[in-house]
Amino acid sequence: MRILLSIPFFLFLAACDGQTDTQREFLNQYSEYCGYAYEGSTNFVDLSSGHLFENARLTMTLSNCDEDEIRIPFHVDDDTSRTWIVKMTPQGLHLSHDHRYPDGTQHDNNFYGGYADGEGSSSIQYFPADHRTIEERPARAANRWAKEIDPENEKYYYRLYLNGELRLEAEFDLSRPIAL
């Protein structure tokens, strides 16, 4: 059997390599901030009334950093059940949300997230819901998360978009690290 490869296919492969390079550059941005915790707050919440993020003290900790994976425990007031996982995989950069009960067992809705799409840069990446997430919770098909590191202004952002509209933005102050 003879396989014909066209020029557009090679351009596609080159674009994928460029995306992976950009995703790797984004992942490397975390290294400067590892070993510290950072306080934050919500700038914008348009979710259910009285959502737990409203007026909450937010803290993220960058304590588990390696070349291919960053684990970021994320606390909302005294609730320590969340960890963001940003990981380089063979399919590209992936964001997972790990939710645990106080005894360490997994929540039923755990490890939802998505792979970075092609719209990101070395400072921001967008993660639309992946197949597994949509299969387990079809309503999450509307989800697209964003992670942004702004070294110039020393800010870190976590955003949630639903159907293309911003519904949540949390901002963390990278200029004031809290020693672990």
Query: So what's the pLDDT on residue 47?
Result: 82
Classify residue 2: in a domain, yes or no. Answer: no
Overall domain count for the chain: 1
Residue ranges making up the domain that contains 65: 7-179
What DSSP line would sit under 115-163, residue for residue? E--TT--SSEEEEE--HHHHHH-GGGGGEEEEEEEETTTTEEEEEEEET
Classify residue 1: in a domain, yes or no. Answer: no
Classify residue 80: in a domain, yes or no. Answer: yes
**Is the model's pLDDT at 8 over the cut of 60?**
no
**What whole-number distance in Å separates Cα of residue 127 and Cα of residue 9?**
24
Stated pTM of the model: 0.86
Q: What is the CATH number of the domain that holds 112?
A: 2.40.128
Classify residue 23: in a domain, yes or no. Answer: yes
Tens digits of residue pLDDT in 67-76 = 999 999 999 9
Classify residue 74: in a domain, yes or no. Answer: yes
* Higher pLDDT, residue 180 or 170: 170
Tens digits of residue pLDDT in 106-118 = 988 889 999 999 8
Q: Read off the pLDDT band of 175 (50, 70, 90).
A: very high
Classify residue 41: in a domain, yes or no. Answer: yes
Structure token digits, residue 7 = 């020029």
